Amino acid sequence: MIPVDKIESKFCFVLAAAKRARQLQAGAKTLIKTSARKSTRAAMEEVVAGVVPYDLPSIEGEADDGKGKKGKSKRAEK
């Protein structure tokens, strides 16, 4: 089981693990020692271990309130 406290954004985690799983299926070697047989599980373990960096890019024009939630746009205020 992957500890939830190590995951900042589930969305980013899933995207990073999916991309890494595709790389593993294409023949890439694992970056950590794992007992996982499936590439998806190995990819998730790599992301949690921090050897696969990921980041959610900010979208231009949206304000971030610091809690991971986006602020209202100017259109919504009218």
Centre a 10 Å sphere on the Cβ of residue 40 and count the other Cβ atoms it contains: 15
H-state helical runs in the chain: 10-25, 39-49, 74-77
| 18, two tokens | 């999916």
- pLDDT tens-digit readout, 14-58: 999 999 999 999 999 999 999 999 999 999 999 989 898 777 667
pLDDT band at 62 (very low <50, low <70, confident <90, very high): low
Amino acid at position 31, single letter: L
Residue 65 banded pLDDT, cuts 50, 70, 90: low
